[in-house]
Amino acid sequence: MDTRTTTQTQTPDSTTELAAGPTWSALLGENNWAGLLDPLDVHLRTLILRCGDFCQGTYDAFNNDANSKYAGSSRYGHANFFDKVMLQDAANYEIASFLYATAQVSVPEAFLLHSMSRESNWIGYVAVTTDQYSKSIGRREIYVAWRGTTLNYEWVNVLGTELVSAEQLLRPENNNTVNKTNSSTNELLPTSMSDRHRG
């Protein structure tokens, strides 16, 4: 199977497919993006912008209205999520799962957003390419996107965070490198992976 990528550029009146570009693994950094950065490869640029759009969707969809009974949830459901956040080529992607988490801080109740569930504020999602689009490009793309710090009590949680070992999240390495991550991220990822049924 040819693993080289093709990119479509869209105008209001037309869709033009560019020539085959770097392999998908090269775009993901297999060779540290050698030859793709200066000048910036158009296929890599498209991927970067797409990832940015996925992240922006988490902010556009998050309901942080303290007066809403759905505060702390996504404004949109799985079926029409990408249409609602106006993602380009929305029909090529679908939500596989929503992600939930909460900051664990000891502050007065009035300081917190009164969400649907104090144990599960919506933070993002797992997106995949549809079956039809996956077949057309010869691969299944998977994206994990979650919003950054938004609510007051999340900022409190961030201020008190520390770096911890990321060993449980990464593949073993054959050297003495000690990889670390934010303690909140370290707790979030395994929890989100095990709670996918909540989406």
DSSP string, 36-96: TBTTBPHHHHHHHHHHHHHHHHHHHHB---TTSTTTTSBSS-TTTHHHHTT-TTGGGEEEE
Specify the pairing of strand 8-10 against strand 15-17: antiparallel
Residue 61 pLDDT: 95
Count of CB atoms situated within 10 Å of the CB of 94: 16
DSSP bridge pairs for 17: 8
Residue 75 pLDDT: 95
Tokens encoding 43? 């296929």
Specify the pairing of strand 93-101 against strand 15-17: unpaired
Residue 159 pLDDT: 60
Residue 174 pLDDT: 58
Residue 153 pLDDT: 52
Listed as ranges, residues in the chain with pLDDT below 70 are 1-19, 102-120, 149-161, 168-176, 182-199
Residue 110 pLDDT: 38
DSSP bridge pairs for 99: 124
Residue 104 pLDDT: 55
**Listed residue (54, 58, 53, 46) closest to 22, CA to CA:** 46
Residue 64 pLDDT: 84
Residue 53 pLDDT: 97
Q: Are 54 and 94 in contact (CB under 8 A)?
A: no
Cα 97 to chain centroid, rounded: 11
